[in-house]
Amino acid sequence: MTLSVQFLSLLAMIGTGIAAGAFIDMIGTGTAHAGKKSIIRRRAAWFEVIGWILIGSGTFYILFLVRDGAWRIYDPVAQISGMLLYATFFYRPLRLLGRVLLMLIVKPVWFVIHLIVSLIRQIIRLVSKLVALPLRPIVKLFRIMAVKLFNKREK
């Protein structure tokens, strides 16, 4: 293995450490901002375990691309140093990027989805009221007749 391949794999492992730190931070921030009774908050440990499994799978995939899956003793050190780099230098810029993406992409898409669901709900309510309007006199007449027909007669 040449020195350039080793350096490339070291940089790749540092990069996966930075990505792992950002991903785990994203999961922690998401669960912290969820409602106190939400299913996300109640299942936070599961989300974190699934996150770590995804990080491990992604790291192995990067290792597979760079070195055909060969693992070296300095790989965990490189990943931990990448996580520490995220915590010291990349924390604020990536959080800012996350807030910008949230404001520019996620919230408008969520608004459009919420608007479409609200419109469909209002249309269903309108149609049900329009169907119920002509049936209202028939139902009222049936109730009056049912009371008269099925009423017990006392002697």
42-74 residue pLDDT tens: 888 899 999 999 999 998 998 888 888 778 888
pLDDT in tens, 115-150: 999 999 999 999 999 998 888 888 888 888 877 777
| DSSP-derived secondary structure letter, 34 | S
11 is a domain residue: yes
119 is a domain residue: yes
pLDDT, residue 111, reads 96
Q: Where are the alpha helices (DSSP H) in 68-106?
A: 74-85, 91-101
Whole domain around residue 35: which residue ranges?
Answer: 3-149
Round to whole Å and give the CA distance between 142 and 130: 20
Answer whether 0.85 is exceeded by the pTM: no
27 is a domain residue: yes
Percent of the chain with pLDDT over 90: 48
134 class by beta-carbon count within 10 Å (0-12 exposed, 13-18 middle, 19+ buried): exposed
154 is a domain residue: no
28 is a domain residue: yes
100 is a domain residue: yes
**154 pLDDT band (50/70/90 cuts)?**
low
pLDDT, residue 13, reads 92
Round to whole Å and give the CA distance between 139 and 132: 10
155 is a domain residue: no
- Number of domains within the chain: 1
62 class by beta-carbon count within 10 Å (0-12 exposed, 13-18 middle, 19+ buried): middle
121 is a domain residue: yes
Tokens matching residue 22: 């950002």
pLDDT, residue 29, reads 86
